[in-house]
């Protein structure tokens, strides 16, 4: 009897343990609460714009928000911090900040406090290096950078501008990829130490001369950095392409206004697929990348430069000629293999070409910073609608002094799916050299600034700069 009682208790205990175990297993740990809404909005932009003797540099800060944003703008050179200034960016407006650009390595570090702003640069050459280079600044440092925008062909000099605005050394390994040659990994560019709060300009011609397509890969072994390529040519002006932190499986490169002749540079930086960036699963043993390029414009889409199924070796860069007319976009899509990095170079009407690294991700809202160097000018803003439905895009100017000044202008354009539209030139001309806020009510879009300025008819200098996508959390 007593034994039976103990047996019952034992079974009861076993039952409790079993039921408890199952119940706990199903219940699982409590989910943590979501991240609290931050009350402190601060940010940073890294602008490795470079420069040269007599160059003028400008950083545009555009504030699409409703509150004033404070910024701290720090100029960096190879010698260290050149100057620091504090600038307030009014709500719904922009500020044009002159930054030092007389050093090849010149770059600018922008810290923002109290809200979100977009930042883009514009450098204008002088003397024997006329031209205009423009690109958006990059919002964060990274441990890897890639650019397909360099070229060291005849009469062209390419610089890799790397900035380290941080307080620790950045130790870099730079590799260069070209067509039909082994990657260039020079000992000078291995374990290259970039001291804190400094930037450096590496003359790529010293390592790979005569390459029409030269891709650059930077691996930051220690610390962080940001980079861009600056190409200087007496005949083809100045071109800036901001580096991207990761290769992508799809890149939209917009262009306009030029002479109708463009070249698409594509770099396959990795031997192995899925190394950062957008993942495209490569078959086992697959090396390199197979991609297609589609030219989008007001006309029906067509293969760009005949690139419908182009294979490219890994650790290589190649240039493909593309004929463009008016507002158009090259939509590069990797079909198989490793993600790629691309740049589109468009021949300008004057002696200044324009380049852009494009955008990998469409977004609903964009800021396009000015790409004109002065009057006369023909400002242009292009909008690609990569989706299938129409996109109604509201364009609002962000005037200097802010919306409170009452000078903000607004217009709306409709961009059919799969095509490229342009913001009316008259609207842009009336708004002046201001940043533009673009909001799409439909499909996500990609925006780019493409302008010419100066010269007799405002066609002398060609500026091509990708827009800055506005994060969802900051969308106006």
Partner 1 sequence: MTRSSAAPPERTPTVLVVLVARDASDWLRGTLAALAAQTYPRMAVLGVDDASIDDSKQILQQALGERRVITFPSRHGRAAAFRAAVDQPAASEADFILLLQDDAALDPDAVQRLVEAAVALPGVDRVGVVGCKVVDRDQPRALLDVGRSADVFGHGYSPLQPGEIDQGQFDRVLEVLSVSTAALLIAREAWKRAGLIDERLDEAHQGLDLCWRVRLAGFRVLMTPLARVRHPAESASAGSAARPRGHGRRYEEDRAAIATTSKNYGILSLLWVVPLSLLLGAVRLLFLALARRFEEAYDLLAAWGWNVSHLGGTWARRRRIQRERRVKDRQLRRFMESATLRLPRWFQSAERILDEQRAIDERDEGASTSRRLRDRTASLVGTHPVVVGSFLAIVIGAVVVRGLFGPEPLVGGVLPAFPSRPDGFWSELVSAYRTTLLGGSLSASPALGALGGLSWLMLGSTRIAQKALLVGAPALAAILAYRAAARLTGRPGASVLAAAAYVASGLTLWSFSDGRLDLLVALAVLPAIFERTEAAFAAEEPSDGRWRFVAGVGVTVAVLVAFLPGAVLAVALLIVVQLVGGSARGRGLALMASSLAVAAILLFPFVPTMVAGGGAALSSHVGTTDLSSLVRLAPGGGPGTWVVALFLPVAAFLSFALVGAEHRAKAVRAAAAAVAGLAMSWLAAAGWLPEPLSNPLAFLAVAATAEVMLVAYGVSSVVTGLGREAFGLRQVLTGMLAVALGGGLVLQTVAALVGGWAVGEPGSDRVPPAWSVVESRARGDFRVLWMGAGRNGSFPAPGGDPQDVAQAGPATVRYGLTDRGGVSALDIGRSSAGPGPDRLAESLEEILSGTTKHGGALLAPFGVRFVVAGDDDLPAATRAVFDAQVDLDPMPAAGLVVYRNAVAMAPAAVLRDDPATLDAVRASDVADIARATVGRGAALTQVEGGWSGGKGSGPVFVSTEFQGSWQLEGSSDPSFTAFAWATGFPTQQAPVAVRYGAQLPATIQAWVLGALWAIALWVTRKPVAR
Distances (CA, A) of 442 to 177, 276, 358, 363: 39, 30, 21, 10
Q: Are 338 and 277 a contacting pair, CB within 8 Å?
A: no
Q: Are 324 and 242 a contacting pair, CB within 8 Å?
A: no
Q: What are phi and psi of 353, to 5 degrees?
A: -90, 165
The residue (of 187 and 473) whose beta carbon lies closer to partner 1 is 473
Q: Is 6 in the site for partner 1 (CB under 8 A)?
A: yes
Token pair 């605005």 is found at: 165
Site track 417-456 with partner 1 (rule: CB under 8 A), x = hit: ----------------------------------------
**Size, binding site for partner 1 by CB under 8 A:** 48
Token pair 């607004």 is found at: 410
User: Considering only residues 4, 26, 28, 285, which one is a binding residue for partner 1 as defined by CB under 8 A?
Assistant: 28
Q: What are phi and psi of 404, to 5 degrees?
A: -65, -25
User: Considering only residues 51, 93, 114, 125, which one is a binding residue for partner 1 as defined by CB under 8 A?
Assistant: 114
Residues 6 or more apart in contact with residue 280 via CB below 8 angstroms: 249, 273, 274, 334, 336, 337, 338, 339
Stretch that binds partner 1, among 75-83, 110-118, 350-358, 438-446 (CB under 8 A): 110-118
Cβ count within 10 A of residue 86: 10
The residue (of 70 and 209) whose beta carbon lies closer to partner 1 is 70
User: Considering only residues 68, 72, 195, 387, which one is a binding residue for partner 1 as defined by CB under 8 A?
Assistant: 72
> Least CB distance from residue 116 to partner 1, whole Å?
9
> Least CB distance from residue 44 to partner 1, whole Å?
4
In angstroms, how far is the first alpha carbon of the chain from the final one? 79
Stretch that binds partner 1, among 30-38, 92-100, 126-134, 287-295 (CB under 8 A): 30-38
Q: Is 18 in the site for partner 1 (CB under 8 A)?
A: no
The residue (of 113 and 427) whose beta carbon lies closer to partner 1 is 113
Q: Is 26 in the site for partner 1 (CB under 8 A)?
A: no
Binders of partner 1 in range 140-169 (CB under 8 A): 140-141, 165-168
Stretch that binds partner 1, among 28-36, 253-261, 300-308, 368-376 (CB under 8 A): 28-36
> Least CB distance from residue 237 to partner 1, whole Å?
33
Burial class (CB in 10 A: 0-12, 13-18, 19+), 27: exposed
Binders of partner 1 in range 207-226 (CB under 8 A): 221-224
Token pair 């601060």 is found at: 42
Q: Is 42 in the site for partner 1 (CB under 8 A)?
A: yes
Separation CA 102–CA 99 (nearest Å)? 9
Q: What is the DSSP string of 343-393?
A: EEEE--SSS--EEE--BSS-BSEEEE-----SSSEE--EEEEE-SSS-EEE
Separation CA 74–CA 71 (nearest Å)? 10
> Least CB distance from residue 147 to partner 1, whole Å?
21
In sequence order, what are the beta bridge partners of 107? 76
Separation CA 369–CA 117 (nearest Å)? 11
Q: Is 27 in the site for partner 1 (CB under 8 A)?
A: yes
> Least CB distance from residue 168 to partner 1, whole Å?
4
Q: Is 39 in the site for partner 1 (CB under 8 A)?
A: yes
> Least CB distance from residue 43 to partner 1, whole Å?
5
Separation CA 345–CA 23 (nearest Å)? 63
Stretch that binds partner 1, among 11-19, 125-133, 270-278, 348-356 (CB under 8 A): 11-19
Q: Is 14 in the site for partner 1 (CB under 8 A)?
A: yes
Separation CA 348–CA 374 (nearest Å)? 17
Which residues are at the interface with partner 1 (CB under 8 A)? 2-3, 5-7, 9-10, 13-14, 16-17, 20-21, 24-25, 27-30, 32-44, 70, 72, 111, 113-114, 140-141, 165-168, 221-224, 473
């Amino acid at each position: 009897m007593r034994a039976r009682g103990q047996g019952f208790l034992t079974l009861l205990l076993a039952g409790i343990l079993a039921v408890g175990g199952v119940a706990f297993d199903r219940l699982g740990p409590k989910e943590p609460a979501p991240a609290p809404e931050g009350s402190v909005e601060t940010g940073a932009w890294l602008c490795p714009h470079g420069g040269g003797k007599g160059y003028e540099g400008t950083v545009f800060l555009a504030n699409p928000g409703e509150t004033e944003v404070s910024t701290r703008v720090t100029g960096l050179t190879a010698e260290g911090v050149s100057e620091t200034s504090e600038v307030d960016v009014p709500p719904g407006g922009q500020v044009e900040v002159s930054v030092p650009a007389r050093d090849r390595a010149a770059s600018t570090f922008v810290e923002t406090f109290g809200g979100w702003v977009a930042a883009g640069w514009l450098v204008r050459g002088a003397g024997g290096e006329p031209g205009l280079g423009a690109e958006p600044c990059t919002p964060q440092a990274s441990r890897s950078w890639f650019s397909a925008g360099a070229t060291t062909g005849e009469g062209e000099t390419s610089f890799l501008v790397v900035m380290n605005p941080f307080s620790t050394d950045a130790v870099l390994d730079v590799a260069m990829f070209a067509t039909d040659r082994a990657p260039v990994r020079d000992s000078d560019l291995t374990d290259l130490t970039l001291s804190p709060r400094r930037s450096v300009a590496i003359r790529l011609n010293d390592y790979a001369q005569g390459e029409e397509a030269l891709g650059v890969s930077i691996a930051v072994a220690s610390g962080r950095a940001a980079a861009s390529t600056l190409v200087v040519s007496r005949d083809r002006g100045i071109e800036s392409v901001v580096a991207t932190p990761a290769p992508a499986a799809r890149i939209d490169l917009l262009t306009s206004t030029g002479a109708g002749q463009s070249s698409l540079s594509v770099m396959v930086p990795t031997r192995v697929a899925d190394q950062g960036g957008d993942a495209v699963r490569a078959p086992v043993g697959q090396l390199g990348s197979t991609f297609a390029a589609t030219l989008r414009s007001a006309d029906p889409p067509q293969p760009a430069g005949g690139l419908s199924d182009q294979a490219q070796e890994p650790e290589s860069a190649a240039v493909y000629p593309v004929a463009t007319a008016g507002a158009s976009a090259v939509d590069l899509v990797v079909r198989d293999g490793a993600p790629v990095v691309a740049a589109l170079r468009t021949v300008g009407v004057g002696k200044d070409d324009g380049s852009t690294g494009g955008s990998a991700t469409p977004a609903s809202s964009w800021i396009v910073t000015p790409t004109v160097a002065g009057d006369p000018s023909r400002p242009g803003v292009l909008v690609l609608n990569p989706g299938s439905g129409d996109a109604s895009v509201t364009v609002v100017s962000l005037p200097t002094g802010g919306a409170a000044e009452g000078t903000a202008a607004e217009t709306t354009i409709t961009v059919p799916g799969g095509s490229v539209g342009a913001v009316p030139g008259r609207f842009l001309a009336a708004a002046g050299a201001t940043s533009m806020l673009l909001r799409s009510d439909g499909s996500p879009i990609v925006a780019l600034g493409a302008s010419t300025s100066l010269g007799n008819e405002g066609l002398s200098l060609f500026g091509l700069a990708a827009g800055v996508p506005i994060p969802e959390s900051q969308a106006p």
